[in-house]
Amino acid sequence: MQELHEKIERSLLKIFVTVLCLIFLLGLGGYFSLTAFRTWQVRRLLAEANALVKEGNFERASLDARRVLELDLENADAMRVIARSAESAGVRSAIEFWRRVTEMSGNAEGDVTSWARCAIRFGDASGACKALDRMPEHGKVTAQYHALRSDVALMRHDLAAHERELLEARRIDPQDTKVELALATLHLAANDFATHENGVRELTDLSTDTSLVAMLYIAWLMTRCAVMI
């Protein structure tokens, strides 16, 4: 009788353990299925959002990106879509969106650059400085970084710093014609005659389009005349 009782207990214990394992496995399977579904949904929504950005449909792209953030609050790709859409629409809050993207991505060089450019576009010199201060060390040795620093200096009317940063950008990338043009224009506008003449030479050497040179020179003359009047 005792043996029968023990056998029944062992059988019940086995049934209990089996049922418990089945419940655990079903729960685990359900969890991984839900996680896999969420991952798939995030990828699908992001792909759709990026395609809409390329089409110029920023409103719908932002909606898809916001749905991604409901599933994953720290998704930098989704916030990047929102920032890009806001900037393309000319909304100043894009600066803050780019700041949040930069935080989410751990100060990725491309995101820091986008944040700084957006701040410069909306005339926020302080915001641009904050962005560039977050630039990783390897990003601070690029011509692009110094060109952005020169833009900030110009916004603050610091022409010495503007020229210094442009010269550093040119040293790193001598082929950047935008930097060359900015330097030539800066020298052309100088009060010092020798520097002004140097600007004329730089501008002439830079462009084979004589009409462009003439237009810039006329614009400089008009500015000088306005100041004299």
What would the two tokens of residue 11 be?
Answer: 């059988």
Helix (H) / strand (E) containing 228 = helix 210-228
Kindly give, in sequence order, each residue whose CB lies less than 8 Å from that of residue 66, ignoring residues fewer than 6 positions away: 78, 82
- Above 50 in pLDDT, residue 103? yes
pTM over 0.75: no
pLDDT of residue 224: 44
What does each C-alpha distance from 64 to 33, 67, 71, 96 come to in angstroms? 22, 5, 11, 19
Contact call for residues 199 and 189 (beta carbons, < 8 A) = yes
CA distance 61 to 78: 9
Query: What are the sequence ranges of the domains in the chain?
Result: 176-229
- Above 50 in pLDDT, residue 37? yes
153-163 pLDDT, tens per residue? Answer: 999 999 899 99
- Percent pLDDT > 70 in the chain is 66
47-83 pLDDT, tens per residue? Answer: 888 788 788 888 888 888 888 888 888 889 899 999 9
Compare 17 and 69 and report the one with higher pLDDT. 69
- Above 80 in pLDDT, residue 143? yes
pLDDT of residue 48: 85
Q: How far is CA 82 from the centre of its chain?
A: 11
Contact call for residues 153 and 165 (beta carbons, < 8 A) = yes
**What's the whole-number mean pLDDT along residues 180-207?**
70
pLDDT of residue 114: 97
What sign does the dihedral 203-207-208-213 (CA atoms) show?
negative
pLDDT of residue 211: 57
* Per-chain mean pLDDT for the chain: 78
**What's the whole-number mean pLDDT along residues 92-96?**
96
Confidence of residue 31 (pLDDT cuts 50, 70, 90): very low
Phi and psi at residue 26, in whole multiples of 5°?
Answer: -65, -40
